[in-house]
């Protein structure tokens, strides 16, 4: 599959955009006209620069408001087109995108439109170029790809074909199935865009909220499968208008985009596999290595300057120290199958506090090679001789994901630390979920990263009110629930990452017993206000004894259709805190209804701590 | 008019919210339940705190999903309501907001809903409280205020009345006229919210995009006029769910809100004045002092460390120096009626580079007292003896607006500076428009501030693509076009205010002559790429001689239905740059189509300057 990206997806100058697309390994780019117009580089210079960077210039876009007009305006439009075709000759671009008329069309007559496209085709041929006609979702008369395909068929001109854009098709709820009826040689270009499923006017939706394939709610695998069945072998290009991408590092965005196309191929292969009865088709690219989902959260690595506080806290929760690693400056704490690797921050502080996540998989080498195919940078683990080989990759926020071999009860690398003292019964059983705050710059990329690398499913997003703004939260989980990662989008105004700490939630079968045991070890949980308990008393029929115990232990409560959720929080230590949760009878959520109270309590705690520091 | 604000409008803890509402001079607040639930303060403590701050607690909200349910759920709902009524007794709150049922209603039978409300009314009476029933725009069966009013009429219970929320009514396109048919004593509460006119699902619109009255697109003056005609004299309260307000300083937000209600009264008075034939009504509050729009932009004050560069630039554009003020460390430059006051930054750097704007008005004292009634802080001008009195107020971004007496050709304060040398013909005639970058924290507040204080009209917003993100731009202008202020919303990712400089545009009758004269004085304009001129040649039929001259002088070009726009830009100096514009035949815009090219050229210039600095 030839990959391409429109320059409008990326921030910066045209030169910076080309460099970013090249760095991310795209085969080509679409030149978005406003980027060219604003560039001090001449068309010849841009052409040379792209060649130097190993990029083809696949499309010049957009040309607007051409067809369905009266004769006088047609004359002007052809003059305008000739100027752009001449420019394309200077750039060495073969294909121009023509959007269906939005502003100046006076007629929806398909014969008229086709005749005018034929004139445009004649002109294009004189310049040795061709025109890809695209139905905009908000076109005046032409707003569906089937109409555009009909007009192109009537025009019947070798220089007039179609551009298919997944957003314009799926945003209108049009079925992509009829794509298979279009002759491959008439599909001149394909643009792939995803988007969250919003209910708003399609123009604003398109201009602000497009995301890379896999980051939104469209079924693009199916779309792509229909396309593959036509035999189309031209570029598959990303045209993503996104307010965030316009502001953020273009190389990071381009890598995110490149990953999305690799993931899309994988999804398309799956859709082709499902599509029995469809036309026979061959995936143009090898599928991703097949990886079974992780069998376990192997460990969580925390890097912090507040080691003594975190050690004390882990001890209070019943974790036992295995001591230090035999060669590295990290230590291991465990309880049940929950393992916390603890160490000081990296010297360059490149990783966030939750600096690493380890997963047990059946075949670590394959898991890593799949991640690398998804453009995740490999991270070498510094190994002492005889250390268990762990292989890993970097994530968009700088943290690392490692894959270790599933070794039954205990990973072999645990033996690289000392032995823990024998202790009381392990009330904590394992990691329940991992809550990672993501800066707004990386949020969508992080969703796609974890989704594709760990093969997780995205749950519906929820929004949680914090005293400093709304937090958008997106849970990704494996089908069996072993891996659950909640990504939280930090409000853009939050100047300081302590405002939205990361956290690790541990699962227990008896949160009340654990809370009591922790209290006996000196633990002080996050204070939950009395008003909260009055409110849950008003909302739920709840045993008075249980309610009294929740109040006393600062344990929070939620219910869903199937069961109950009891959980408590520690105070934040630096930019991280811990949670202990008990899921009764298959409760499936994360206590989102309690999150605002927790966020307010943490905010209150910060205020108090600051005031103490001042006093 | 009694003013109130819902705690959900403001960021921080409940305590911080109460303090902010009090600081802004509100009479009362609505307690938003999640704020109470998350607060460590007991209800009694909250009650005492509000009393201490001089605030009444006007409403407890929201209570949800009560009516239209089966008998078993009704029982539970009454139990839930009793708990909340008991809580209201502890808080000393008389009125509870009940939203129309969204989730649990099984029947839309108005008789059933009324009968259940009557039971709720009986219960409320036992606690000495009352219930204000509100139709949510997305209610399951009840989604219009006329339906809610009918149910309340059928219920016919002294403790059951209505809450009217302007958003829920106007977002659905419902006419507010029927408000006048509701008996005043049945209107228990009124919530006022504005919103930009978006086309999206009403729930998301309501939860994220509400703004204070005057900051959006609803005709709230008319809404309010209908309300006043009923004789309603309860609180008028702000319930604004807004993603930005949740993140920003609660005191600044509360002042913005308080201003919006004062402005709303003014707008309501105007609507009452227009509404001949309506029921007679008396404005409950004195209207704002009537101010005629400014007759002139009197001066622009720039504060910068780059004084030599700015002096050279002004000289190149044909400005002449009047020398320094006789007592202050500022100097004056003028050309035609364009005046620039130039000085070093304030010692506390509290003001942005465009630190002050002066306007000529017929009655400065009235203009200032009006601004102060709109909660603009007064700013004393340090006057030497004999100095012309100028009176002014602070704006949301810290800059200042001053009003001077209209004195015909030249303001009297000009005499406080020296005499300029005689010079060539004045090609620049006056200030055309002022372009103020606003941090996202203050954007909506700035719109309302300038709108209300200078009595301007908001033009439709436009969005302009910069290499670092989309810039939203909102022009405010006086009807006669004398005052034109463009407010630009800086992308939230912009770490540095040089990314979106402010600028002053001067009007000339001959921009080409001016550009040539400036060039002869050594001026180098912002470089506009050759690609730009190729593009306007393709888009417009334009005289080759004119095009050649535009190219040569780096002058940009635009057209609208009535005329042409020719303009050029200076390089930024620190965080400000200048523009010279010529409007031919009544061109009414601001060259927004050229803004992306200008922003890219400025970005390119910054990159080059940085590279030079590095080399």
Q: What is the ipTM of this complex?
A: 0.92
Q: What angle do CA B214, B220, B226 make, to 5 degrees?
A: 155
Does pLDDT of B287 surpass 80? no
Provide the pLDDT for residue A421. 81
> Which range, of A66-80, A397-411, B429-443, B593-607, averages the lowest pLDDT?
A397-411
Q: Pick from B9, B11, B34, B37 the residue to mutate for testing the A interface (most A CBs within 10 Å).
A: B37
User: Looking at chain A, which residue has its C-alpha nearest residue B593?
Assistant: A34
User: Would the CB atoms of B467 and A199 count as touching at under 8 Å?
Assistant: no
Region B514-521: what's the mean pLDDT?
A: 97
Chain A residues lying within 8 Å of B16, measured CB to CB: 467
Q: Are B138 and B165 a contacting pair, CB within 8 Å?
A: no
Integer angstrom CA distances of residue B198 from B165, B173, B218, B461, B487: 18, 12, 11, 12, 20
Q: Which residue among A40, A42, A531 sits closest to B39, beta carbon to beta carbon? A: A531
pLDDT (tens digit per residue) in B531-587: 999 999 999 989 999 999 999 999 999 999 999 999 999 999 989 999 999 999 999
Q: Cα-atom radius of gyration of chain A, to the nearest Å? A: 28
SS3 A279: coil
> pLDDT tens across B442-470, in order?
899 999 999 999 999 999 999 999 998 99
- Containing B56, the helix (H) or strand (E) segment is strand B56-63
Assess A601–B contact: CB distance below 8 Å, yes or no: yes
pLDDT score at A389: 76
Q: Is residue A494 very low, low, confident or very high in pLDDT (cuts 50, 70, 90)?
A: low
Q: Which residues does chain A have within 8 Å of residue B492's beta carbon, measured at their own beta carbons?
A: 247, 440, 492-493
**Secondary structure class of A34 (helix, strand, coil):** helix
B104 inside 8 A of chain A by CB: no
Residue B245 has pLDDT above 80, yes or no: yes
Q: Which span out of A367-381, B361-375, B418-432, B508-522 was modeled with the highest average pLDDT?
A: B508-522
Q: Which segments within B439-525 are labelled E, that is strand? A: 457-458, 462-466, 469-477, 484-489, 502-508
Residues of A in contact with B11 (CB under 8 A): 467-469
**Cβ within 8 Å of A, B 483-512:** 491-494
How far does CA B220 lie from the centroid of its chain?
15
Q: Which residues of B touch A200 (CB under 8 A)?
A: 198-201, 204
Provide the token pair at A232: 């189309």
User: For B68, which DSSP code?
Assistant: S
Residue B76 has pLDDT above 80, yes or no: yes
Q: What is the mean pLDDT of residues B330-350?
A: 93
With CB atoms and an 8 Å threshold, state whether A491 touches B600: no
Q: Is residue A353 scored above 70 in pLDDT?
A: yes
**B12 touches A at CB < 8 Å:** yes
Give A-chain residues touching B596 at CB under 8 angstroms: 34, 38
* pLDDT score of B83: 97
Is residue B284's pLDDT more than 80?
Answer: no
Q: Give the residue with greater pLDDT, B505 vs B490.
A: B505
Helices in A214-249 by DSSP H: which ranges? Answer: 220-230
User: Could you give the dihedral angle defined by the CA atoms of residues B417, B423, B426 and B430, in that order, rounded to the nearest 10 degrees?
Assistant: -10
Neighbours of A97 (CB within 10 A): 24
Q: What is the pLDDT of residues A187-233, one digit of tens each?
A: 999 999 999 999 999 999 999 999 999 999 999 999 999 999 999 99
pLDDT at A238 over 90: yes
Of B329, B323, B336, B337, nearest in space to B303 by CA: B329
Do residue B204 and residue A201 have CB atoms under 8 angstroms apart? no
Q: Which two tokens stand for residue B183?
A: 């008996």
A292 touches chain B (CB under 8 A): no
Query: Comparing A494 with A51, which gets the higher pLDDT?
Result: A51
Residue-level pLDDT at A169: 97
Helix or strand run (H / E) with residue B514: helix B511-520
pLDDT at res. A383 = 67
Inter-chain touch A87–B534, beta carbons under 8 Å: yes
CA end-to-end span of chain B = 64
Cβ-proximal residues to B385 (8 Å cutoff; 6+ apart), any chain: none
CB B260 within 8 A of CB B288: no
- 3-state secondary structure string across A348-408: CCCCCCEEEEEEEECCHHHHHHHHHHCCCCEECCCCCCCCCCCEEEECCCCCEEEEEECCC
Cross-chain residue pair A604–B80, CB shorter than 8 Å: no
For the segment A370-377, the average pLDDT, to the nearest whole number, is: 94
Subunit contact A37:B531, Cβ cutoff 8 A: yes
Query: What's the mean pLDDT in A222-247?
Result: 94
**How large is the average pLDDT for residues B477-499?**
82
Name the residue in chain B with its Cα closest to that of A91. Answer: B531
Kindly list the residues from chain B whose CB atom is less than 8 angstroms away from the CB atom of residue A38: 529, 531-532, 596-597, 599-601
Rg (CA), chain B: 28
CA distance B197 to chain A (A): 11
Number of alpha carbons in the 13 Å side-chain half-sphere of residue A43? 21
A532 touches chain B (CB under 8 A): yes
pLDDT score, position B48: 98
Cβ B38–A534 below 8 Å, yes or no?
no
Identify the DSSP state of B224. Answer: H
A202-214 CB burial, b ≥16 within 10 A, e <16 = beebbebbbbbbb
- In the structure, what pLDDT confidence band is assigned to residue A60 with cuts at 50, 70 and 90? very high
Which residue of B19, B32, B38 is the best one to mutate when testing the A interface, meaning the one whose CB has the most A CBs within 10 A? B38
Q: Is the pLDDT of residue B336 over 90?
A: yes
Contacts of B459 (CB under 8 A, 6+ apart): B474, B475, B476, B477
Distance, in angstroms, between B85 CA and closest chain A CA? 11
Residues in chain A with CB shorter than 8 Å from the CB of B600 are 13, 38-39
Touching check for B534 and chain A: CB below 8 Å?
yes
Look at B532 and A604 and tell me if their CB atoms are within 8 Å.
no
Span B259-288, average pLDDT? 78
* Percent of the residues in chain A that have a pLDDT greater than 70, as a whole number: 96
- Where do the DSSP E strands lie in A518-569? 556-559, 564-569
B423: left (phi over 0), alpha (psi -120 to 50) or beta: beta
* pLDDT at residue A276 tops 60: no
Contact criterion met (CB < 8 Å) for B492 and A494: no
Tell whether the model's pLDDT for residue B497 goes beyond 70.
Answer: no
pLDDT of residue A541: 87
Q: What is the pLDDT of residue A384?
A: 66
Question: Phi and psi of A365, rounded to 5°?
Answer: -65, -40
Q: How far apart are CA A436 and CA A501, in angstroms?
A: 8
Tokens 């469209």 sit on residue: A218
The answer to whether the CB atoms of A492 and B491 lie below 8 A apart is no
Contact residues, chain A, for B248 at CB < 8 Å: 493
CA neighbours closer than 13 Å in the CB half-sphere of residue A116? 27
Q: Please, what is the average pLDDT of chain A?
A: 93
Among the partner residues B198, B493, B607, nearest to A247 by beta-carbon distance = B493
List chain A residues with CB under 8 Å of B83. 534, 537-538
Determine the distance in angstroms separating the CA of A204 from the nearest CA of chain B, rounded to an integer. Answer: 9
Q: Assign 3-class secondary structure to B529-589.
A: CHHHHHHHHHHCCCCHHHHHHHHHHCCEEEECCCCEEEEEECCCECCEEEEEEEEECCCCC
Q: Tokens for B509?
A: 């009758």
- Crossing angle of helices B220-230 and B250-274, in 10° steps, is 70
pLDDT at A597 over 90: yes
- Of the listed ranges A272-276, A588-592, B222-226, B583-587, the least confidently predicted one is A272-276
User: Which pair of tokens denotes residue A8?
Assistant: 């409008």
Question: CB distance from B48 to chain A under 8 Å?
Answer: no
A10, A17, A37, best to mutate vs chain B, most B CBs in 10 Å? A37
* A571 phi and psi angles, rounded to 5 deg: -65, 150
Of B37, B43, B600, the CB nearest to A13: B600
Interchain contact, B538 vs A204, CB within 8 Å: no
- Calculate mean pLDDT across residues A367-388: 84
Q: Of A451-465, A481-495, B209-223, which range is least confident? A: A481-495
Q: For B14, what's the count of Cα atoms within 13 Å in the CB-facing half-sphere? A: 26
The model's pTM is: 0.93
Least confident piece of the model among A15-29, A449-463, B380-394, B397-411: B380-394
CB A188 within 8 A of CB A244: no
Using omega within 30 degrees of 0 as the cis cutoff, is the peptide bond preceding B62 cis? yes
| Residue ranges of A 18-37 with Cβ closer than 8 A to chain B | 33-34, 36-37
- A441 close to B (CB below 8 A): yes
Looking at the partner chain, which of A198, A470, A532 has a beta carbon nearest the beta carbon of B246? A470
Residue-wise pLDDT for A126-142, tens only, equals 999 999 999 999 999 99
Token output for B281: 């009504």
Flag if A493 and B441 touch (Cβ within 8 Å): yes
Interface of B with A in 71-100 (CB under 8 A): 76, 79-80, 83-84, 87
Q: Give A182→chain B minimum CA distance, Å.
A: 33
Report pLDDT for A526: 96
Question: Using an 8 Å Cβ cutoff, are B123 and B157 in contact?
Answer: no
* pLDDT for A278 beyond 60: no
pLDDT on residue A391? 83
- Say what the pLDDT of residue B281 is: 65
Spatial distance between the Cα atoms of B250 and B20, rounded to a whole number of angstroms: 6
Tell me which chain B residues have a C-beta less than 8 angstroms from the C-beta of A80.
538-539
Helices A511-520 and A544-553: crossing angle in degrees, nearest 10, is 40
Burial class (CB in 10 A: 0-12, 13-18, 19+), A415: middle
Mean pLDDT of A109-129: 98
């Amino acid at each position: 599959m030839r990959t391409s990206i429109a320059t409008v997806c990326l921030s910066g100058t045209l030169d910076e955009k080309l460099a970013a697309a090249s760095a991310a390994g795209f085969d080509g780019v679409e030149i978005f006209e406003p980027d060219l117009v604003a560039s001090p580089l001449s068309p010849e210079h841009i052409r040379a620069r792209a060649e130097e960077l190993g990029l083809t210039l696949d499309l010049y876009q957009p040309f607007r408001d051409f067809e369905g007009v009266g004769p006088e305006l047609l004359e002007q439009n052809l003059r305008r087109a000739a100027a752009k075709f001449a420019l394309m000759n200077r750039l060495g671009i073969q294909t121009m995108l023509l959007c269906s008329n939005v502003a100046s069309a006076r007629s929806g007559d398909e014969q008229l439109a086709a005749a005018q496209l034929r004139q445009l085709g004649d002109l294009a041929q004189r310049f040795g170029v061709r025109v890809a006609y695209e139905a905009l979702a908000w076109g005046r008369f032409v707003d569906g790809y089937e109409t555009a395909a009909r007009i192109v068929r009537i025009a019947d001109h070798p220089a007039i074909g179609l551009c298919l854009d997944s957003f314009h098709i799926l945003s209108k709820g049009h079925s992509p199935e009829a794509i298979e009826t279009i002759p491959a040689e008439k599909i001149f270009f394909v643009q792939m865009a995803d988007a969250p499923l919003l209910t708003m006017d399609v123009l604003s939706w398109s201009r602000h909220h497009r995301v890379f394939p896999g980051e939104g709610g469209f079924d693009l695998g199916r779309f792509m499968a229909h396309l593959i069945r036509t035999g189309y072998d031209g570029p598959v290009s990303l045209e993503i208008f996104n307010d965030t991408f316009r502001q953020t590092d273009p190389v990071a965005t381009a890598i995110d985009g490149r990953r999305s196309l690799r993931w899309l191929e994988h999804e398309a292969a799956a859709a082709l596999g499902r599509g029995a009865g469809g036309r026979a088709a061959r995936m143009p690219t090898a599928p991703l290595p097949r990886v079974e989902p992780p069998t376990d959260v192997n460990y969580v690595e925390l890097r912090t300057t507040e080691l003594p506080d975190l050690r004390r806290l882990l001890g209070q929760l019943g974790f036992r120290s295995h001591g230090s690693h035999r060669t590295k400056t990290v230590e291991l704490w465990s309880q049940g199958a929950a393992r916390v690797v603890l160490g000081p921050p990296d010297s360059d502080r490149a990783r966030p506090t939750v600096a690493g996540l380890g997963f047990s998989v059946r075949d670590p080498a394959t898991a890593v090679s799949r991640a690398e195919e998804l453009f995740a940078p490999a991270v070498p683990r510094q190994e002492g001789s005889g250390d268990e080989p762990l292989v890993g990759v970097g994530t968009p926020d700088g943290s690392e994901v490692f894959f270790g071999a599933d070794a039954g009860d205990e990973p072999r690398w645990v033996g690289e630390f000392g032995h823990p003292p024998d202790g009381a019964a392990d009330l904590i059983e394992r990691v329940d979920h991992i809550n990672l705050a993501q800066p707004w710059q990386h949020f969508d990329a992080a969703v796609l990263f974890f989704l594709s690398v760990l093969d997780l499913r995205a749950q519906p997003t929820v929004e949680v009110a914090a005293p400093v703004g709304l937090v958008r939260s997106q849970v990704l989980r494996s089908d069996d629930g072993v891996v659950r990662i909640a990504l939280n989008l930090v409000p853009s105004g939050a100047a300081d990452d302590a405002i939205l700490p990361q956290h690790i939630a541990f699962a227990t079968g008896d949160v009340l017993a654990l809370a009591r045991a922790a209290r006996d070890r000196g633990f002080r949980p996050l204070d939950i206000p009395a008003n909260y308990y009055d409110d849950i008393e008003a909302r739920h029929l709840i045993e008075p004894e249980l309610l009294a115990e929740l109040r006393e232990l600062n344990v929070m409560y939620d219910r869903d259709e199937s069961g109950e959720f009891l959980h408590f929080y520690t105070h934040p230590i630096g930019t991280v805190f811990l949670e202990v949760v008990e899921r009764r009878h298959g409760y499936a959520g994360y206590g989102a209804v309690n999150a605002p109270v927790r966020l307010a309590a943490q905010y209150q705690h910060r205020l108090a701590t600051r005031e103490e520091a001042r006093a």
